[in-house]
Structure 1
């Protein structure tokens, strides 16, 4: 299911408000390892070293730029915490899940 999300393109500008709790719960089942944390969806990606971490961050930045939907990132030596929410709707939107799936796809063979 996350593959279907990864093939989608973010909707800009978004119409309407944030997803409901039920919609968020349903979509979290489609993206492995993501969870709801403080009004955003979040996942920690782990790597062997700083070089791999930065390669992931740079690839994710390129995707975010192309989708016009940018995450909050916390980067350290061997991990990156990625958080998505949609400020323009005041919560979580389909765009967050599209970008989450695209982030996951970076690490799939």
Structure 2
């Protein structure tokens, strides 16, 4: 299928599909006229990529995990899969803690500002 059809079937822009190809997440053959020709399974592959991106995984990790995907949210136990997932969870936990601290500081600042005497 041509890139426009893949885009229509997945809801992913042609530009992003080209990026996925450069990142070696999807693959196409070139027709005689130079157009990209994607296999039918590219639709499901793009859906898996989107699910893994939504889980916060970077494309460099997704490239390693894609061969292990069974469906959009399930991974087969390929070597290194759990290590990558645990590392990403650890990263997200740290980000969440940082955001919680920033949120608490912002709440304290708002409360202090609300309770402060107005400038005259």
User: Normalised by the size of structure 2, how large is the TM-score?
Assistant: 0.28
Q: Which one has the bigger helix percentage?
A: 2
Q: Which one has the bigger strand percentage?
A: 1
Which structure is larger by alpha-carbon Rg, 1 or 2? Answer: 2
Higher RCO (CA-CA < 8 Å; seq separation 6+): 1
